[in-house]
Chain A
Amino acid sequence: MSLITVTSPHATRSGNHTGAFMRQVVYATIPGIVVMTWLFGWGTLFNLMIAIPAALLAEAAVLKARGYNVRFALRDWSAVVTAVLLALAIPPTSPWWLIVIGIIAAIVVAKQLYGGLGMNPFNPAMVGYVVLLISFPLEMTRWIGPHEAPSWFDSFRMVLASANVDAFTGATPLDSFRTWAGNAEQLQALPILHGEFASLGWEWVNIAFLIGGLYLLARKIISWHIPVAMLAGMALIALPFWLFDDARYASPLFHLFSGAAMFGAFFIATDPVSAATSRYGRLIYGALIGVLVWIIRSHGGYPDAVAFAVLLMNLAAPTIDYYTQPRTYGHHRAKRGATR
C-alpha cells in the first residue's frame, strides 16, 4: 500500500474541468451558426472549417516552441472557442487567408505571446477581429444581404477568393443607419431596417445567440452580471436619445438586435480571462461595454463596435477589479483600491 500526501480538499466536483467549460461555449453557438448559415449561406461553415484547424495548429506550434505538453494543453479547448468566435465575427464572404491571418493574430499574438491561456489581457478573438478590420476594411465589411444566401458553390469560390464577392454583398442594417442617420424619410424607406421587430435578418441572428447565451446561463458557465449589465447599459443609454430624436438615433430594440449585440454580450464580453471578476466589477464592466458600443455605433467611425468596446474595457478590467473588492467576512468595509 502506498499513501499520497496532498493538501485538502480531497474531494473535487466530478466532471468539472476547463475543457468541459469551453466545450459548452462551443455548443451554445450552434443556434447562431444555424441561423447565420440560413441567412448568409455556407460561408459561415467554411469560416469555421478553416478557423478551427488553423487555431489548433497555431496553438500547437507555439506551445511546442514554448516547451509545453501540447496534447495536454490543447485539451482545454480554448483555441477552439477562440476560433469559433472569430469565425462567427467575420463576414461569411471572407477569403481563407483573411481567416488564417485573423487566427494567427488572435492565437499567437493576443494569447500565446502574453503567456497563454489565462494570461492574456485582451480577448484574443476580438484582437484578431480588430487586426483584420483595420488591415482589410474592405473585406471585413462585405456582408451578404439577409435571405440572399449564395449557393454553396459560390460560397466556396468566395473562400478561394475567386468569386466576385460584390455581386452578393450589401450594406448591413447598422451601415445603412449610419449612412442615412438624420434623414427620417430615407430611414423609413430602407427595408433592411425593418424586420419583424428590429433590423431585417439580423434580429434572428441575435435571437439565436440570445438562446445560446441563456443556455450558458442555465448551465452556470457564465454569470448573468456581464450580459445583463451590457444589454441594459446599451438600452438605457439608447432610450433617451431615441426619444429625443428618432431620426438620428436608433431605438434601443434596434440596438439590442443588430450587429453583434447578443453575440458580444453572451460570448465575447463574458470571456473570463480578460473580463473583470468581482461581482460589482462585472456589472460595471458590462454596463460600460454597452455604453461604449452605443457611443461608437452612434458617433464613431465604424458601424459596429462590440470589438472596440470590449478591448477598451479589457484595458480597464484590472482597475475595475481593484476598486470593486467585495467586503470580506469580518471586515467593516470593503478594501477598495490602494491602501498604501
Chain B
Amino acid sequence: MNASIGKPRLLFDFHGGIHPPQNKTLSNQRPIRPAPLPAQLILPLNMHLGAPAKPVVQVGDEVLKGQKIAEAQGAVSLPVHAPTSGKVVAIGPRPIQHPSGLDAPCIVIEPDGREQWCELHPLPDWRTCCPPSALIPRLREAGVAGMGGAGFPSAVKLSPRAEHPIEQLVINAVECEPYITADDMLMRERADQIIAGVEILRHILNPKEVIVGIEDNKPQAIEAMRRAATGSGIEIAVVPTKYPSGGEKQLIYMLTGKEVPSGGIPAQVGVVCHNTGTALAIHRAIVFGEPLISRVTTLTGKALREPGNMEVLLGTPVSALLDAAGADMNRIGRLVMGGPMMGFTLHSSAIPVVKTTNCILAATAEELPPPATEQPCIRCGSCADVCPADLLPQQLFWYSKNQDLERAQQYNLMDCIECGACAYVCPSHIPLVQYYRFAKGEVRKEMAEQQKADRARQRFEARQDRLAKEQAEKEARRKARLEGSKPAAASGVDVAALKAASLEASAAYKAAVKALKAAEAEGSDQVAALASDVEQLKAKADAAKAAVRDAGNAPAAPVVDVAALKAASLEASAAYKAAVKALKEAEAAGQDVTALRTEADALKAKADAAKAAVRDAGPATAKAAPVQPATAEQPAAEKADDGAERAQKMKALKTAFNMSHKHFKEATAALEHAEREGADNLEELRKQVERFKLKADKAKAALGLLVDQAKADMRASGSDLKSLKIEAAQTEAAARQKARELEAARVKGDDERINVLSRELDALQREAQVAAGALKAATDEQGLADA
C-alpha cells in the first residue's frame, strides 16, 4: 500500500475500444441539485439483480423515511426501503426499468412531505466496534447494490470465498459512457465521503492494494479524489479515455493485467470491483445507518433546457425529473435510461429511477437519429477491430442470425459484454448487439428447455418404473391367490368336465322344451311324450348342475365356483322362465297344465336356490372379479377392444372438436377485432367463423353420439360404478355451469337467452337426477353385494 502519486501505475491496454463523442459538458456544468419530491414514488421489488424482495407492508400503511417496506428473499436479494415518509397507496404491477416493457410488482408510496426518518443505527466507530465481517449484513439490510451497472448486491461481493484471497480492491470511477457525469460530479463534490466508503471496503476485504480508476477526461474529479486520498494509501490511477474502459473486466485488466476468467467472477483472480456511487452508499449505510434510498442521476440530452445532475429519491418517476430539468417534450425522440452505448430505451416516462439508474438521456431525434436501415454485412472487420473482448463479431453475427447457436458459442458468444462498440462502428448499420442478445436468449432458452426435458425424462422413467413395479406386485398377488386355491385347481379337471356335461344337458333340455312348445302350439298329440322327455332331460341337467356345484363347493374354490354358480343360476332362471312361458301357453290352449305348473314351481325353487348360492359366493370373490376364469375372459377382451376403439375415436373427435372450437373462438375474436377496426375483410372473416362453427358443431354432434353410445353401454353393463359416478358428477357440473350462465343472462336481462338456458338447465337437471339415481342404485347394489 505504498503507491504514490508521483509514480504512475503501469497500465495494460485492452484490445479494441472506440472514442465516441463525449457530450459530457452538457451535464457537468452545474452542481448536483436535489430533485423535487414527486406526487408518487414507485418502488420496484427488484431494483437489484437477484430475487425480488417480498413486501412487508400493506396498502394503507403509513411508512417512515428509511423504513423497510420489503425484505430480501434468498441469498442474492436485497430489501427495499421507503425513500420518504408517507402512505402505501398500492402494491401491484407497474412499468419498470426493463427493456422488455413488461410490468413488475412495485410498492407505490404517496409522500406526506414531512420527510420523517425512522430510527437509524449509525456506527461511526466501525473500525473498532466489531469484526469487519459484521459490517456485511448491515450493508445487506441497508439495501446497498452496485450502482454502476447491473445492481448486484454489494454484500455478496464482499463475502468472497476463502480460497480466493483478495489482492486488489478496484474502485470503478471511469464512467466511460458518453453523456453520463454522475460519478464525475459525485467525486468533485463528495470525494471525502467516497474515500471514507472505500476505507470501509478496505477494512472488510483487507486487500493488498486499493486502486481507484478514473478516466483522464475528468481532471477536476481526479484532483478532488487525490486530495481526499492523500495519506490513505489509496491509489488514484488515471486511465486514458476509451470506451469501454469502465467495463468491469476491461478496467480490472487495465489496472492489474489480470483477466476475469470466462464465465467467472473477479474474485477468482483476487479482485473485487465496486463503483464510486456504491462506495458512497456504503459510507452512509455504515456511518449514518442510512439505507440506500437516493442516488445521483445525470439528466442530460439536448431536449432538456437545464441538464445536470440531481440527487433523486429512488422511485421517482422519470417524468417528474424531466419536468424538473425543463424537458421540451415535443423534442424528445428517444428516452434512454443509462448511457447512449448500453442504456435501454424507455417505453413510458412513468418508469421510476432505481438503484442502477445513473443517467436519464432525453435525446432529440437529431442527437440520436432513428436507426438506419440494415445493410448486408460486408465482413469489413471494423467490429473485430474494436471489440474489447477480442471476439469476431462478424462471425457471431452470421451464426446468431442463422440461429446456429452451437457455432456462435464456439465463437464465444457468451463472452460478449454487449458494450455496443461493434454496432457503433458498423458501416452497414446492423443492430449487432440485438442479434447477440437474441442469440444469448435462445441459448438460455435452449438450456432451460434441455434441463426441463431431462427432468421430464427422469420423471417419465420414474413413473414407468413405478407402474411396472405396481404391475409386478399385482401379478405377484394374483399368483399368491392362485397358490392359495391350489386344491381347487387339482380338482379343476373334474369341474370342467362336469361343467361341460352340465351345459350339454341343459342344452338338450332347452331343445326339448322348445320342441314341446312347438308341439303344444300346433296342438300335436305328442305333447305328453315330449313333456316326459323334457322331464327326463331336466332331471339330467339338474343332476349335472348339482355335480358341478358339489365339485365347486367341495374345495371351496371361490373363483371357479362363482362363475359356475352364476351360470347355473342363470340357467335355472332361464329354465324357470321357459317353463312359465310354456305353462301360460298351455293354459291359453286349455290343456292340462298341472304337470307343467309343478315343474315351473320346482324350477323356480331351483333358480332361487342358485341365485342365493351366487349371492353367498359373491362377497368372497368380489375382489377377485378382474381375474376371471377362462370362460369369462374372451368376451371381456372383446368388449375391451370395442371400448378401446371407441375411446380412440372419441379422442380423435374430441381433439377435432377442441381444435375447431379453438379456431372458431379465434376467428370470432378476429372478426370482432376487425369489426372494431372497420377492416374490409369482414365478409371473409364471417365466412371463416361460420366454417369453423360448422366444423365444431359437426365434431360435437359426432362426439355426442359416441358418448351417448358409451353411456348406454355402460348402463347396460350396469356394473361400472366409477363411470356412473363420473357421469353423475359430469352432469352435475354441467348443470352447475348452465345455472351460472343462466344467472349471468339474468343479470344481463337477455330474455330469449334466459328461456333457452332455463330449458337447457331443466334438461340437464333431469339428466343429473337420472344419473344420480343410477349411481345410487348401483351403490345400493354394491352395498348389498358387500353386505
Quick check: do A and B touch in the complex, using CB within 8 A? yes
Residues on the B chain within 8 Å of A13, using CB:
18, 20, 424-425
A8–B418 CB distance below 8 A: yes
B262: which of A10, A282, A331 is its contact (CB, 8 Å)? A331
Q: How far is the CA of A5 from the CA of B14 in the complex (A)?
A: 31
B375–A76 CB distance below 8 A: yes
Kindly identify, within residues 1 to 59 of chain A, every residue whose CB is under 8 Å from any CB belonging to chain B. Answer: 1, 3-13, 16-18, 20-21
> 1/0 per residue B246-277: CB within 8 Å of A?
00010001000001111110000000000000
**Closest CB-CB distance, B616 to chain A, in whole Å?**
74
A118: which of B347, B377, B433, B434 is its contact (CB, 8 Å)? B377
Q: How far is the CA of A5 from the CA of B368 in the complex (A)?
A: 13
Residues on the A chain within 8 Å of B373, using CB:
72
Residues on the A chain within 8 Å of B423, using CB:
8-9, 12
B380–A21 CB distance below 8 A: yes
Given contacts A7-B437, A9-B433, contact A272 B427 (CB under 8 A): no
A277: which of B101, B341, B395 is its contact (CB, 8 Å)? B395
Which of chain A's residues has its CB closest to B23's CB?
Answer: A11
Q: How far is the CA of A21 from the CA of B338 in the complex (A)?
A: 31
A278–B392 CB distance below 8 A: yes
Which of chain B's residues has its CB closest to A339's CB?
Answer: B410
| B429 interfacial contact with A, CB 8 Å | yes
> 1/0 per residue A294-337: CB within 8 Å of B?
00000000000000000000000000010001111111000100
B390–A9 CB distance below 8 A: no
A1–B330 CB distance below 8 A: yes
Which of chain B's residues has its CB closest to A337's CB?
Answer: B410
Q: How far is the CA of A44 from the CA of B263 in the complex (A)?
A: 57
A8–B344 CB distance below 8 A: yes
Given contacts A17-B375, A272-B378, contact A277 B392 (CB under 8 A): yes
Residues on the A chain within 8 Å of B429, using CB:
12, 17
Given contacts A6-B334, A278-B392, A326-B392, contact A17 B427 (CB under 8 A): yes
**Closest CB-CB distance, B265 to chain A, in whole Å?**
11
Given contacts A4-B333, A9-B420, A11-B20, contact A328 B415 (CB under 8 A): yes
Per DSSP, chain B at the interface is loop
Kindly identify, within residues 405 to 453 of chain B, every residue whose CB is under 8 Å from any CB belonging to chain A. Answer: 406, 410-412, 415, 418, 420-421, 423-429, 431, 433-434, 437
Q: How far is the CA of A328 from the CA of B249 in the complex (A)?
A: 12
A4: which of B345, B375, B381, B388 is its contact (CB, 8 Å)? B345
Residues on the A chain within 8 Å of B431, using CB:
6-7
B412–A3 CB distance below 8 A: no
> 1/0 per residue B454-468: CB within 8 Å of A?
000000000000000
Which of chain A's residues has its CB closest to B398's CB?
Answer: A118
Residues on the A chain within 8 Å of B15, using CB:
326, 329
| B59 interfacial contact with A, CB 8 Å | no
Q: How far is the CA of A7 from the CA of B100 in the complex (A)?
A: 10
Residues on the A chain within 8 Å of B368, using CB:
10-11
| B307 interfacial contact with A, CB 8 Å | no
Residues on the B chain within 8 Å of A8, using CB:
338, 340-344, 418, 420, 423, 433
Given contacts A117-B376, A277-B381, contact A330 B425 (CB under 8 A): no
Residues on the B chain within 8 Å of A335, using CB:
410-412
A328–B381 CB distance below 8 A: no
Which of chain A's residues has its CB closest to B389's CB?
Answer: A329
Q: How far is the CA of A116 from the CA of B378 in the complex (A)?
A: 10
A11–B390 CB distance below 8 A: no
| B371 interfacial contact with A, CB 8 Å | yes
| A273 interfacial contact with B, CB 8 Å | yes
A330: which of B264, B381, B392, B418 is its contact (CB, 8 Å)? B264
Residues on the A chain within 8 Å of B259, using CB:
329-330
**Closest CB-CB distance, A63 to chain B, in whole Å?**
12
**Closest CB-CB distance, B164 to chain A, in whole Å?**
16
| A184 interfacial contact with B, CB 8 Å | no
Q: How far is the CA of A78 from the CA of B427 in the complex (A)?
A: 13
Which of chain A's residues has its CB closest to B434's CB?
Answer: A7
| B6 interfacial contact with A, CB 8 Å | no
A330–B260 CB distance below 8 A: yes
**Closest CB-CB distance, A142 to chain B, in whole Å?**
34
Given contacts A8-B341, A329-B389, A331-B262, contact A3 B346 (CB under 8 A): yes
Given contacts A11-B340, A16-B425, contact A3 B381 (CB under 8 A): no
Interface-central residue, A4, A7, A321, by most chain B CB under 10 Å = A7
Which of chain A's residues has its CB closest to B335's CB?
Answer: A3
A12: which of B334, B377, B410, B424 is its contact (CB, 8 Å)? B424
A3–B347 CB distance below 8 A: yes
Interface size on A, residues (CB 8 A): 43
| B391 interfacial contact with A, CB 8 Å | yes
A10–B379 CB distance below 8 A: no
Residues on the A chain within 8 Å of B427, using CB:
16-18, 20-21
B379–A272 CB distance below 8 A: yes
| A217 interfacial contact with B, CB 8 Å | no
A329–B14 CB distance below 8 A: yes
A328–B341 CB distance below 8 A: no
| A223 interfacial contact with B, CB 8 Å | yes
Kindly identify, within residues 369 to 404 of chain B, every residue whose CB is under 8 Å from any CB belonging to chain A. Answer: 370-373, 375-381, 384-385, 388-392, 394-395
Which of chain B's residues has its CB closest to A117's CB?
Answer: B376
Q: How far is the CA of A34 from the CA of B616 in the complex (A)?
A: 120
B262–A330 CB distance below 8 A: yes
A223–B385 CB distance below 8 A: yes
Residues on the B chain within 8 Å of A330, using CB:
249, 259-264, 389, 415
| A119 interfacial contact with B, CB 8 Å | yes
Residues on the B chain within 8 Å of A118, using CB:
376-379
Which of chain A's residues has its CB closest to B363's CB?
Answer: A10
Q: How far is the CA of A96 from the CA of B345 in the complex (A)?
A: 55
Residues on the A chain within 8 Å of B338, using CB:
8
| B34 interfacial contact with A, CB 8 Å | no
Residues on the A chain within 8 Å of B21, using CB:
11
Kindly identify, within residues 164 to 178 of chain A, every residue whose CB is under 8 Å from any CB belonging to chain B. Answer: none
Which of chain B's residues has its CB closest to A334's CB?
Answer: B390
Q: How far is the CA of A13 from the CA of B420 in the complex (A)?
A: 12
Q: How far is the CA of A108 from the CA of B260 in the complex (A)?
A: 49
**Closest CB-CB distance, A117 to chain B, in whole Å?**
4
Residues on the B chain within 8 Å of A326, using CB:
15, 384, 390-392
A17: which of B333, B361, B372, B421 is its contact (CB, 8 Å)? B372
Residues on the B chain within 8 Å of A275, using CB:
379
Residues on the B chain within 8 Å of A328, using CB:
262, 389-391, 412, 415
Residues on the B chain within 8 Å of A272, using CB:
378-381
Interface-central residue, A10, A118, A328, A340, by most chain B CB under 10 Å = A10
Q: How far is the CA of A326 from the CA of B15 in the complex (A)?
A: 11
Q: How far is the CA of A118 from the CA of B22 in the complex (A)?
A: 33
Kindly identify, within residues 223 to 242 of chain A, every residue whose CB is under 8 Å from any CB belonging to chain B. Answer: 223
A11–B380 CB distance below 8 A: no
Q: How far is the CA of A116 from the CA of B427 in the complex (A)?
A: 17
> 1/0 per residue A176-208: CB within 8 Å of B?
000000000000000000000000000000000
**Closest CB-CB distance, B351 to chain A, in whole Å?**
11
**Closest CB-CB distance, B321 to chain A, in whole Å?**
15
A9–B381 CB distance below 8 A: no
Residues on the A chain within 8 Å of B376, using CB:
18, 76, 116-119
| B555 interfacial contact with A, CB 8 Å | no
Q: How far is the CA of A95 from the CA of B338 in the complex (A)?
A: 61
Which of chain B's residues has its CB closest to A3's CB?
Answer: B335
Which of chain A's residues has its CB closest to B390's CB?
Answer: A326
**Closest CB-CB distance, A5 to chain B, in whole Å?**
5
B411–A325 CB distance below 8 A: yes
Q: How far is the CA of A250 from the CA of B470 in the complex (A)?
A: 89
Q: Can you report 24 A-B residue pairs in the complex whose CB atoms are below 8 A from each other?
A: A3-B345, A4-B333, A4-B370, A8-B420, A9-B421, A10-B334, A10-B368, A11-B340, A13-B424, A17-B375, A17-B427, A18-B428, A21-B427, A117-B378, A118-B379, A223-B381, A277-B394, A326-B384, A326-B392, A329-B389, A330-B261, A330-B263, A330-B389, A340-B406
6 additional contacts, CB 8 Å, given A3-B346, A325-B392?
A: A4-B370, A5-B345, A6-B370, A10-B361, A11-B20, A330-B415
The 4 closest A-B pairs by CB, nearest first: A9-B420, A118-B376, A7-B434, A330-B262
